C-alpha cells in the first residue's frame, strides 16, 4: 500500500471506517475548493450590496452560482466514479481477488452476489445517465452564455458585471469545469461497461439473461 492509498480516517483518527484515501483527497481538493470559492463569491454578490443599501446583484450571482454548481457536479462525479474506496471499485477489487481463489461450495452465495452486483449496475447506470445529461446541459448553457456575452450583451447593455469580459471568463470557466465533469462521467461509463462485461462472462450467465436485461433497460 502506497502513501496515497492510505485512508484519511486511519491517518487522522485510526478508528473510523475507511471511505476516502489521501489520493482521493487530492482529486477532490480542486473541484471542492472551487465550489466553495464560487459559493462565497455568490454570497458576496448578494450580501455586499445590501450593506450599502443597494439591490443584490442577482445576474452576477447567478453566473457565478452556475460555475459553482458545475464544480459541485464535478466533485460528486469524482467521489462516485473516481474514488478508490467507492462501493463500485471495492466490489471490483473484491471480485478480482476472489476469482484468484478456489471455492467450490458457495454456488448459492455466488448467485446472490451476482444478483446484488446486477442491481448495483442498474443503479450505477442511472447515476451515470444523470451526470451525463447534467454535464451536457451545463456545457451547452455555458457555450450559449459565452457567445451571448461576447457578441451581443455589450450592445444590449446586458452585462452581468461592469464589463462583459468578466462574464465571458466565468462562462468559459464553467465550460471547462463541465467538460472535465463529462470526462469523469465517461471514465465511469468505461468502468461500468467493463464490469458488465465481466458479469456476463460468469458461469451460469446465459445470453438470454443479457437479452432480458437489455429489454428491461430500454424505456
Q: Read off the pLDDT of residues 136-157 as tens digits, 9 standing for 90 and up.
A: 999 999 999 999 999 888 888 8
**HSE value, Cβ hemisphere, 13 Å, CA-based, for 107:** 4
The three-state secondary structure class of 62 is helix
Q: pLDDT tens-digit profile of 159-192?
A: 888 888 999 999 999 999 999 999 999 988 888 8
* Phi then psi dihedrals of residue 54, to 5 deg: -100, 170
Inter-residue contact 44 to 107 (CB < 8 Å): no
Distance between alpha carbon 48 and the CA centroid of its chain, in Å?
32
**HSE value, Cβ hemisphere, 13 Å, CA-based, for 20:** 13
Distance between alpha carbon 195 and the CA centroid of its chain, in Å?
18
Confidence of residue 217 (pLDDT cuts 50, 70, 90): very low
Q: For residue 212, which of 130, 118, 120, 126 has the smallest C-alpha distance?
A: 118
Amino acid at each position: 500500500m502506497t502513501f496515497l492509498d492510505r485512508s484519511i480516517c486511519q491517518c487522522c483518527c485510526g478508528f473510523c471506517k475507511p471511505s476516502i484515501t489521501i489520493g482521493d483527497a487530492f482529486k477532490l481538493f480542486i473541484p471542492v475548493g472551487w465550489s466553495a470559492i464560487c459559493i462565497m463569491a455568490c454570497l458576496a454578490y448578494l450580501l455586499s450590496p445590501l450593506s450599502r443599501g443597494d439591490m443584490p446583484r442577482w445576474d452576477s450571482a447567478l453566473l457565478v452560482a452556475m460555475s459553482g454548481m458545475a464544480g459541485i457536479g464535478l466533485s460528486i462525479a469524482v467521489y462516485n466514479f473516481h474514488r478508490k474506496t467507492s462501493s463500485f471499485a471495492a466490489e471490483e477489487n473484491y471480485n478480482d481477488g476472489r476469482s484468484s481463489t478456489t471455492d467450490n461450495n458457495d454456488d448459492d452465495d455466488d448467485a446472490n452476489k451476482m444478483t446484488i452486483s446486477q442491481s448495483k449496475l442498474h443503479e450505477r447506470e442511472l447515476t451515470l445517465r444523470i451526470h451525463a445529461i447534467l454535464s451536457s446541459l451545463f456545457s451547452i448553457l455555458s457555450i450559449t452564455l459565452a457567445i451571448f456575452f461576447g457578441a451581443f450583451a455589450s450592445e444590449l447593455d446586458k452585462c452581468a458585471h461592469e464589463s462583459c469580459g468578466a462574464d465571458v471568463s466565468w462562462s468559459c470557466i464553467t465550460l471547462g469545469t463541465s467538460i472535465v465533469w463529462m470526462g469523469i462521467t465517461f471514465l465511469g461509463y468505461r468502468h461500468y461497461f467493463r464490469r458488465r462485461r465481466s458479469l456476463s462472462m460468469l458461469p451460469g450467465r446465459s445470453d438470454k439473461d443479457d437479452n432480458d436485461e437489455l429489454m428491461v433497460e430500454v424505456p
